[in-house]
Structure 1
Amino acid sequence: MAQLGRWKYGLFTFVAMILQCLCVSAFDTWWNLGVRGFKAWRNPQLYVIGAQPLCTQLKGLSPAQVRLCQSYHDHMPSVGHGASMGIQECQRQFQNRRWNCSTIADDSSVFGPVLNIASPEAAFTHAISAAGVVFSISRGCREGELSKCSCSRSSRPKSLHRDWIWGGCGDNLEYGYRFAKMFVDIREREKNHPRHSPGLARMLMNLRNNEAGRLAVYRYSKVACKCHGVSGSCSLKTCWRQLPEFRTVGDRLKDKYDGATKVVFNKRGTQLKSENSKYNKPTKEDLIYLEDSPDYCDPNKVTGSFGTKGRECKKSSPGMDGCKLMCCGRGYNTFKRKVKERCHCKFHWCCFVQCDVCEHIEDVHTCK
């Protein structure tokens, strides 16, 4: 019997290694809602398929998230939209990097094995996705799309002009933050991990980066106002709380990515601390990571790297988008490309713009 047990254990280990080599992700994620057509959720007839709620049919949701989905089913289109916003912003921020936030078709982890590494890239994806949910839910409240919230009831800013009216229909960041914290974090808290375990370290890392993403939206809202008065004289204004531009949220988190802090367990193995004690303690708005990034130069199924062969680069740029760094020292090829663009545009009264189409030839460089 003991020999049979060892044989089964060996077989299990072998299968696990094969799955890893075949690029099978270690976990599914709710980000799958952002690439699987969240618009379908807006059809109320799809909430139930036969006797099974649609929530149980969705890939990527943890058991606790399925239960939340069933209680807040009208929130799911906003969650999916938030996930989609996060994915698109990630790809915009990293379009000129070796890792360009590529998604993988038919993989419910969305980004593939790259997420199995507790790297700065994984930290950013968690943060920007959590930020997307805060943004989308907060806006959904204001638009009247959600049954459990409405316009923001935040208090009047002390700096607001005393003659201006506070009370327009603002984005409900308070509710958006609370719901995003509940929905996104609950999958991390479902399991109990022992002290000093890799599972606990990754859970703590994900929770911190989720919070950094939420705060990148919540703490940077702005006041928007509408003018009233004779002929728009702005003698009176009505003001409300408004979300920041999501692009500025992405820019803020990209800066945090560039300055992310590597962390390790404390002596008790219950919390994470900076690996280098000379550095300042990371704040709640900072990103943290456990493992250094792969170089992403060559294709690697285990790390999820697609490599940079064939990627466009800029010959004269000293940055990561430059051919020297993007091509990892392999050199680059150059070819000519014909480009068409609008030109000689003129405004005609009233009211349209008419443009010609111009062509020019440009040099294009791609990594070897």
Structure 2
Amino acid sequence: MSPEYFLRSLLLIILATFSANASNWLYLAKLSSVGSISEEETCEKLKGLIQRQVQMCKRNLEVMDSVRRGAQLAIEECQYQFRNRRWNCSTLDTLPVFGKVVTQGTREAAFVYAISSAGVAFAVTRACSSGELDKCGCDRTVQGGSPQGFQWSGCSDNIAYGVAFSQSFVDIRERSKGASSNRALMNLHNNEAGRKAILNNMRVECKCHGVSGSCEFKTCWKAMPPFRKVGNVLKEKFDGATEVEQSEVGSTKVLVPKNSQFKPHTDEDLVYLDSSPDFCDHDLKNGVLGTSGRQCNKTSKAIDGCELMCCGRGFHTDEVEVVERCSCKFHWCCSVKCKPCHRVVEIHTCR
């Protein structure tokens, strides 16, 4: 092996690792608060940030608690969307918080990057609208009358600021020297798809004005969708994600479908490079916890069913007694009284 080939291979490995660990900033979600940051030196102590993110932290101290909340939103939504799947977004107290799963170019990593990017954009935008940040406020560009006959007013969510901050903070690692690697291109694409899930689902909210609740005229504003809606959209994109590979168009490196019979993906779609493991068995080397000990649904034929969730290993069945409220009655005024009801249920657990 020539020295030039060895150095080139080593550089590609370093760049791939550099890009693959770009989600380390999600460790901020493990903190109870970063709102107490009052000195720039504190940014150096935040675990998971690369130096350029530390510099952004120093320039945007008041925004960092929103970034933390965005990381928490992303993790919670990931765990909700994948609660019934073999991989259920379990987190660790080490870096990266999702384990080695996100260091591979799988569709699971694609979802993590998309929902994380969306989480930051969402949380920062919400902080702008609530008046928490001096750097931004409501979107004042949405004003005047509309073709539909209502008046733009109120506090429209400043999604442009939230998206711009997410692009600057979340994408910063990929936009460095490794930005031409296929993993960096994958991450950047999925980051943007996450933000598009908010932008493309902005809604119009209105308030009626008039005598005795009539709607003689109304004022409206633009609002972000609930974050659960964002999660639902991205989960659908996960299910239909496109496997891609790097190609060159002129002097530009791009990602194209690996199967030429598939139609090109859009900016809103998720893309991935590598096939996912089956997530059946505990594999610490690859960050897979396995499904042993997971609860399953005996009657379901879907992925949450015992046959698929337990990967054919079988399952244990235990009977447990649960106490529920029943025979509830309303008593004037003003309470609801219920009786405790005992019920035995079966719990099925993968071997």
Would you call these one fold, judging by a TM-score over 0.5? yes
> Residue by residue, what CA displacement relative to the aligned partner does 1:174-201 show, whole Å, maximum 9, x if unpaired?
11111111111112112246x6xxxx11
**1:134 partnered with 2:127:** no
Decide which of 14, 35, 46 is 1:58's aligned counterpart: 46
Q: Which secondary structure state, in structure 2, belongs to the residue aligned with residue 313 of structure 1?
A: coil
Q: Which residue of 2 aligns with 1:47?
A: 38
The number of residue pairs the alignment matches comes to: 334
Counterpart amino acid of 1:42?
A: G
Aligned residue identity for 2:158: N
Q: Give the corresponding residue for 1:165.
A: 151
Find the partner of 1:75 among 63, 66, 78.
63
For residues 148 and 267 of structure 1, do their structure 2 counterparts lie closer, same or farther at Cα, with a shift above 3 Å needed?
closer
Distance in 1 (CA, whole Å) between partners of 2:148 and 2:21 is 54
The alignment yields a C-alpha RMSD, in angstroms, of: 2.3
Sort the Cα spacing of 1:127 and 1:326 in 2 relative to 1 into closer, same or farther, 3 A.
same
Confirm or deny: 8 A CA contact 1:28 1:59 kept in the other structure. no
Structure 1 position 94 matched with structure 2 position 85: no
**Mapped partners of 2:334, 2:220: distance in 1:** 31
- Tell me if structure 1 keeps the 8 A contact 2:321–2:342: yes
| 1:245, distance to aligned residue in structure 2 (A) | 0.9
> Which residue, out of 318, 321, 339, partners 1:335?
318
The code of the aligned residue for 1:249 comes to V
Question: 223, 227, 234: which is aligned to 2:204?
Answer: 223
Q: CA deviation at 1:26?
A: 5.7
**How much does 1:53 deviate?**
1.3
Q: Which residue matches 2:29?
A: 34
Distance 1:264 1:81 in 2: 33
1:122 maps onto 2:109 in alignment: yes
Which residue of 209, 216, 224 corresponds with 1:235? 216
Stretch deviating more after TM superposition (287-296 or 153-162) = 153-162
Change in Cα spacing, 1:215 to 1:27, as seen in structure 2 (3 Å) is closer
Alignment map for 1:275-286 (pairs within 5 Å): 275-286=258-269
C-alpha distance in 2 between matches for 1:235 and 1:357: 51
Letter in 2 for 1:134: A
Partner of 2:188: 207
Which amino acid in structure 2 is aligned with residue 112 of structure 1?
G
Q: 1:249 aligns with which of 225, 230, 233?
A: 230
**In 2, Cα distance between equivalents of 1:367 and 1:250:** 27
Please list the CA deviations of residues 72-122 of structure 1 after superposition, one character each: whole Å capped at 9, or x if unmatched: 1101011110110000000001111000000002x1311111111110000
- TM-score, normalising length from structure 2? 0.89
Provide structure 2 residue ranges, at least 5 long, that are not aligned to the other structure: 1-5
> How far off its partner does 1:169 sit?
1.1
Q: Give 1:152's match in structure 2, choosing from 106, 125, 139.
A: 139
| CA-to-aligned-CA distance 1:291-325 (integer Å, 9 cap, x gap) | 00000100001211111111110111111000010
CA contact (8 A) 2:22 2:174 kept: no
In structure 1, what is the equivalent of residue 3 of structure 2?
A: none
Among the aligned pairs, what percent are the same residue?
Answer: 48
Q: Does 1:308 align with 2:301?
A: no
Contact 1:28–1:61 under 8 Å retained in 2: no
Cα distance in structure 2, aligned partners of 1:271 and 1:96: 34
Within a 5 Å distance, the mapping from 1:176-215 to structure 2 comes to: 176-192=162-178, 200-215=181-196
CA gap 1:236/1:92 in 2 versus in 1, 3 angstroms? same
TM-score, L = length of structure 1: 0.85
Post-superposition offset of 1:348: 4.3
